[in-house]
Structure 1
Amino acid sequence: MRTASGTESADALHRLATRKAMARLIPLMCAIYFMSFLDRTNVALAKAQLAIDVGINAAAYGLGAGIFFIGYALLEVPSNLAAHRFGPRRWIARIAVSWGILSTLMMFVQGPWSFYVLRVLLGIAEAGLFPALMYMVTLWFAPRDRPVAVGWIYTAPALALVIGSPLGGALMQLTGLAGLHGWQWMFMIEGLPSIVVGVLLYFKLPDRPGEARWLSPGQAAALEARAVVDAQGHPELTSADWIGALKRPSTVLIGLIYFLNQVAFVGLYFFAPAMIHQMNVQSPFIVGLLSASVGIGFLFGVLVLPRIHRRLSNDCAWLAWLTAGAIAGACAYMSAASPPARILCLTVTAFFGGGVLPSYWSIAMKRLQGIQAAAGLAFINTLGLLGGFAGPYMFGLAETASGRSDAGFTVILAASVAGLALVPLLARAMRRESGTLSAAVPATGTNR
């Protein structure tokens, strides 16, 4: 029987190991996710010039922006199963190098069809990156630490929007240098560093705590022992039947809610520059600077909201409140008249729409371990990627029909209301699954 002092000593060892793991791993994970998001979204700043230079109109742009997620989604589950088999380090490095090459090749777009092809290939190359990062979180961090770890990882795309929008706007002004358009310079300068980061990760990112030279054996054992225990205190699932993770009602419902979130949020950050441009802002740099308001709201959301979630026990009530916040932000934008008020509403909507993302993954990770985590998390992300395709396409259709980019806020409102309606169903599914698991454990004594 473990004594109180022994428990305190074990807890202290685990806390120290967790701090070291976050200090060593999170910057590397953020670096690769930052580059992927920068290379994925910089096309938003090129929207107006692509229309002028190569004839890509709003509907074609919306299709091209969203079609990235089709290629991504098709290979998401197989890619993450490969990450489980070969190790996240090798697989993440492979992803980074291949998408860095393709992102750089975006500078050679000649029209709608070459735009579509390169966007599809870019999505295929990047498939599995984010769920591989989430899978690594399940290997390294205990359930109570995962919301914070995921929140830190999500600072990367938020910073990509904050920094990348002004940076991309500045690069867009290099038009004429060496005979290239500004958007060509942007794709090249932002694509090449991804290759460098991918090579760096291959040498610096350990797969599991036991492989980390900067951890003592005791610290590595403490991390691994608590990382493989789920929220109910049961050991890691070892069943080879990973398909079971995809059949769970809670997995499907989290995926559907995430799908609706991505319809709204991906559409928002892809079309925010166009919305600001329609506020009579002409300078590409100023458009990029003001577009960073979405990234600022996103950044504050992922820094603040996971720390609140960590202290709460009712996951579904938390999701409901955050989704309601996104609805309120959308309604406020649609009723606001002045540009400053609308930019503030963009920030508020991104705070709730982006800040909720770590909570989705934290809730899913409580119920998925081992290879089931690799498959289940990839499946949830696949549904989100389909939302990432649908969102920009629906925003593009709304702009084409109305003549205004901010018509996309009707899409945000509809998707958020639908997501809120699914939260009670998720709560019911989670209660049923918890009851089934609790009933099964006394009878068997172990998980299968």
Structure 2
Amino acid sequence: MATLTAADLAAVDTRLAGTDTLLSTEYPGDDGTRQPVHTLYVPADRFDLELSATFGAAAAQAVAEAGGTVALAHTVGLGHLAEELAPLVDAKLAAEPIEDLRLDFEDGYGARPDAEEDADAVLAAERVAAAVAAGVAPAFIGIRFKCFEEPTRHRGIRTLDLFLTTLAGVGPLPDGLVLTLPKVTTVEQVEAMVALCEVFEERLGLPAGRLRFEVQMETPQLIIAADGSVPVATLLHRAQHRVSALHYGTYDYSASLQIAAAHQSMEHPAADYAKQVMQVAVAETGVRLSDGSTNVIPVGDPDHVRDAWKLHARLVRRSLERGYYQGWDLHAAQLPTRYLATYAFYREGFAAAARRLDAYLHGDDATIMDEPATARALARFVVRGLGCGAITASEAVEATGAEPAELIHLAHPKLVTADKEA
């Protein structure tokens, strides 16, 4: 006979009601949608409907000048997978060279006369709408406007206003629309952005909650505030679920810590500390992470090009190994090494992950006894590889014995539960 009564259990439920609500609302887990492997930044006035094709062609030309994709794979230390990677990367550069594009009105655009930026903001919206309608826009596309610090606040908000108002006037907002708020220093700046989103939605006739935005982590004040708190964690829970991602800004953050320019890098210990804090803050919130960029561009002298490609490929791999599945790119010649390094990461780990998933799902290997949490991590790995094109659906089915939909369900059980409840 049990000791506890129904009343005792009800008392525990009452005591933990707040915890239950917190976990279900603030820590829903990843929503299972696609995350791009990179964000490419271009000055806003450079965007046109041919940009993706132009960048793809430029990337392919850079590869050709290096002797082809197989040769480039050898150059960056991936010779053992060169024949396997080459057709996948070549196909990617031809079909989808840019996964996520940011039209930059901030550092990449600079300070210009108001009339010029006004015109460019309207033109950017018109061109984005036209690219989406023509089917030539990247899956994810949007703008980075100027930050909410006093000197640039009104300019940044006006650019955002002109872009969104023009875009909404053309038709429905693109599904992959992304807005990027840079150089955030306080939670209040995020709250101000939330308030603006609410105004835009009301006045433009958008559904409540339609507008979300990325926060660029470029200042140390978001890691540790004046009162010793960790604002990056606080802002996520004060943003009414509108923050979609945190993007690390390599150079602004490093400069704020007075790190010498020659030593500013994605792999500096200061960068690793900031990114680890970000990683803990977003865990299970559904907010995505992106690493920053390297400004060492593979152009010019052949020796420099080779070294820049090797550096970029190594940094991409380093980010992936640390749980940062997205990063910034700044030039077409970085696209080949972005995909080579990314595809190699997933393909190198695929066989072992698939074998363990097969054992977990079908119980065929008594030597492996993975727990559900590990199975979810394995499934997420394979699903990410499928999403970016590193792994084909037929390969996944053959190796795991599961269809992609089953792997997605395993990777994101909270999403499946919510679907059933709906």
- Quickly name the TM-score band, shorter chain normalised: under 0.3
Greater C-alpha Rg:
2
More strand by share: 2
Provide the TM-score with structure 2 as the length reference: 0.24
TM-score with structure 1 length normalisation? Answer: 0.23
Greater relative contact order structure (CA < 8 Å, 6+ sep):
1
